[in-house]
Amino acid sequence: MQLFKSKISVLLLTLASSALSLSAQTYRLPGAHIAEHNDLIAKQENIPNEIKAENAQQFLDNLFKEEEEPELDIYTEGWDSRRVNAYAGAEVPQTRIIDVSNFSMPHPGYVTSPYGYRRRFKRMHKGIDLKAHIGDTIRAAFDGKVRMTNFDRRGYGYYVIVRHENELETVYGHLSKFLVDEDTYVKAGDPIALAGNTGRSTGPHLHFETRFMGYPINPAAIFDFANQTVHTDTYTFDKNTYQNARNFDPNANTEYAKQYQAEYQKNHPYQASTKKSNSGKSSTYTVRKGDSLSKIASRTGVSVKQLCKVNGLKTTTKIRPGQKLKLR
C-alpha cells in the first residue's frame, strides 16, 4: 500500500511539471518578435549624447525671445506709412482703457512748453517740450517697435516714432542722433536717440508726443512730469477729453525745474561755469577747442539761429578756438 501511494505521488509530480512546462511554452515570446525587438533597440540613437547643455540653452533663449515679442497684428495697420499719423481714415473707438503701468520717462527734463494751442504761432502744439541738452539720452516710454526714423526740416527735425504694445504711439522730436533703426523692438527705458536742436526749434529740448490711433493725447494726462511717474496704471482715452491734462500743477513743475537744474550743475560743473561766465554784461563766449555752434548753443542756452544772427554767421561757418562770439 505504501508503494502504491509513492507511485501516485510521483505521477502527480510528473503531471504538474508537464503542466508548468506547457504553460511556460504558451507565454514565451515568439522568436520573430524577439528578433524585431532587438533590431529596433539596435537602431535607436544614443539620445543622452545628442542632447547637450549648449543646445538646450540655445533652444530656451530662442523660445523666450519669441515670447517677449508681442503678436504682429498691432504692427500692420499703417505700418508702412511715412506720416506721423498713420491711422488717417481709420475707425477709432470713442473710449479705450490703455495700460501704462510698464513705463519709462523718456527724459528727466522739466516741462518748458505745455501741450495746447499756441497763439504766437497760431497752431496746435500736439506734445510737450522737455528741457534737454544736446547729447542727452532719450529712452522709449513703453515696450514696442520703432515704426519710423525721419527728418523734417521745418518741424520735428530728426524724430523717432515708436508703436507700443499698449496701442499707443510716441513721437520724439528735435533729436541729434538715432540709436535705433526702423523695425527695431525696444523695451521701456531702452536708449533710442540723443537729444538735439534740429528742425523748427529755438533751443535744445525734447518734443514728446503720445498718440492713440493718430489722436495726439496730452502727455500730461498720462505722465506726471514733476514727479517722474505716471498718474495711474491705466489711462482712459476718450475722444471728448484726450486734450485735457491730469492734475497739472505749474508750481510743482517750477519746483522740479529748480531740482533738475541744480542736479545738472552738480554733475556738469564745466557747462555750469561756462554759462555763468557768459551771463554778465559782456554777453560773449570764447570758443574752446572742440566747440561747435550747437555745443555752444547748448551750453549758453542761446539757439544756433540767434548765434548766427548776432554774429553774422551761417550754420556752415567754421569757428576757431579763441574766437569771441556774441550771445545777444
| Mean pLDDT comparison of 85-89, 136-140, 270-274, highest-scoring range | 136-140
Work out the average pLDDT over 260-276.
Answer: 71
Residue 95 has pLDDT above 90, yes or no: yes
Cα angle 264, 267, 268; round to 5: 80
Task: Quickly list DSSP for 196-242.
Answer: B--SS-SSSEEEEEEEETTEEE-GGGTEETTTTEESSSEEEEETTTT
Residue 31 has pLDDT above 80, yes or no: no
Residue 270 has pLDDT above 60, yes or no: no
- Confidence bin at 278 (pLDDT 50/70/90): very low
Task: Quickly list DSSP for 13-24.
Answer: HHHHHHHHHHHH
Residue 21 has a pLDDT of 53
Residue 281 has a pLDDT of 43
Work out the average pLDDT over 230-247.
Answer: 96
- Confidence bin at 165 (pLDDT 50/70/90): very high
Q: For 113-150, write each residue's pLDDT tens digit.
A: 999 998 877 889 999 999 999 999 999 999 999 999 99
Query: Is the Cβ–Cβ distance between 163 and 184 less than 8 Å?
Result: no
What is the Cα–Cα distance from 103 to 212, expressed in whole angstroms?
16
Which residue has better confidence, 18 or 211?
211
What is the Cα–Cα distance from 59 to 41, expressed in whole angstroms?
28
pTM: 0.64
Which of 61-65, 96-100, 311-315 is predicted with the least confidence, judged by mean pLDDT? 61-65
